[in-house]
Amino acid sequence: MKLYDFTPAPNPRRVRIFLAEKGIKVPMEQIDLMSRAQLKPEFLAVNPQGTVPALVLDDGTVISEVVAICRYFEAVQPEPRLFGTTPAEQALVTMWEHIFELDGMLAIGEAFRNSVERFKDRALPGQLNHPQIPALVERGRRRTVHFFDKLEACLADRPYVAGGSYSIADITAMASVDFAKRMDYAIPEGNAHSRRWYEAVSSRPSAAA
């Protein structure tokens, strides 16, 4: 088994945190996204999506997409449960993970990738090159501000994003907050619930993974 990783990137970090919470160690190989190694033929032969992270199982099965890789490890080692236990918990974890992926990670990525010079022709991840679109910087920034509002509302009545227990939804939300720092966004001063939560999740040992 091997996990293709790139330490500085926010998406592979979500998997590393998940594995740290499970106490699972997997052999890793770095794919240097800075030199676009994910688009070279050697890596596309492994993961045709041209994305990192990617997990290769011992039988050669390749799994891309953060949530899919994490789902694999949840199935092979259910404890501690990071996708919820009861049907309603499972649904709420899936829901909040999805919301914060789209309204957090993707929204922040929209502002980031459309404004930073080195993503000039790489405004979206994956095989296709896309030029930056200036109007998306503004839209991404509006969405990033809204992400912080949504996070605060979500956490108003519960300790963790999806309820009473830490889950993959917290990982995605925390990774979003940290990703937003690259655009100089921080949790607003007045967002007391988010600040309390961020303090708790980012002081877990897994956050350093």
Instruction: Tell the smallest beta-carbon distance from residue 134 to a copy of itself (Å).
Output: 9
- Among residue numbers 124 through 143, which ones bind a copy of itself (CB under 8 A)? 124, 126-128, 130, 133, 135-136, 139, 142-143
Q: What is the largest CA-CA distance in the chain?
A: 50
Q: What minimum distance in Å lies between the beta carbon of 198 and a copy of itself?
A: 21
Q: Does the footprint of a copy of itself cover residue 188 (CB under 8 A)?
A: no
* H helical segments located in 58-133: 66-76, 87-100, 107-113
DSSP H or E run through 99: helix 87-100
Q: Which of the residues 76 through 95 are near a copy of itself (CB under 8 A)?
A: 76, 86-88, 90-92, 94-95
The least CB distance from residue 136 to a copy of itself, in Å, is 7
Which residue's entry shows tokens 């770095």? 30
Complex with a copy of itself: residue 136 or 200, whichever CB lies closer: 136
Residue located via tokens 């099965």: 61
The reply to whether 28 sits near a copy of itself by the rule CB under 8 A is no
Q: Return the residue matching tokens 């997409």.
A: 65
Provide the token pair at 152. 């605060």
Site for a copy of itself in 33-52 (CB under 8 A): 48-49
Q: Which pairing describes strands 2-5 and 54-56: parallel, antiparallel, or unpaired?
A: antiparallel
Q: Which CA distances in Å does 187 have to 12, 110, 128, 154, 177? A: 22, 18, 33, 14, 7
Q: Which residues bind a copy of itself (CB under 8 A)?
A: 48-49, 55, 57, 59, 61, 63-65, 67-69, 71-72, 75-76, 86-88, 90-92, 94-95, 98-99, 103, 124, 126-128, 130, 133, 135-136, 139, 142-143, 146, 153
